[in-house]
Structure 1
Amino acid sequence: MAEQYTELELAINTLVENFHSASPTKVGTLTAQEFQSMISKELPTMVKTAGDQEGLNKLLTDMNVEDGKGVTFKDFWLLIDSLATAHFGLLSKEKQVKCVKCSLM
């Protein structure tokens, strides 16, 4: 019997797979161009500024990715964390929801 994954498990798996498939070299680090292409394709609504060079540079700076260095999965995961936190903030303002079991920064 095959295991049934939850929606959350499937979402996490999708994030991991999409990051690693974005690099043709499969080295675990994306170039700025590979990262920009992936973000533009996979997160166009949440990361609108990554579409141009100035926006990409600001995003990479905000993620603490140094010039000339690749984007690691850890860097990407920190972006996902900040997007999820911001999204939760928007939802909590809209619905007046307070999460008492977690502490989101």
Structure 2
Amino acid sequence: MSTAYIVVTILAAAMAGFSAGSIFFHAKWVVQPLADYSVPRALWPWLGAAKAAGAVGLLVGLAVPAVGVAAGIGLVLYFSGAVVTVARARWFSHIPFPLVYMAPVVGSLVLGFTA
């Protein structure tokens, strides 16, 4: 296990956890775009829970690699869905935001497979 893998995985987990907390605490800069994209408010807690579970899974994956891989794949799918949602809402200038959160997750998966 390399130092780069550990650092990137912790960064990815921290970013996903921060994103989950932003939904749980209804940060205006997060929930207002969700409303603008027509994401039903009833789904917001589930979206936060999915990101929180992914963050925890990445950290557990440092000890149990299969869990980390599953969490990483889940988060990549989650953030891919976010890109699709933003594109469907035609807010193309917002597409980079989910990609910023997805990048360290992809990096963690790549570094995990090469380690």
- Same fold, judged at TM 0.5 (above): no
Structure with larger Rg: 1
How does the TM-score come out when normalised to structure 2? Answer: 0.30
Choose between structure 1 and 2 for higher RCO, CA contacts under 8 A separated by at least 6 residues.
2
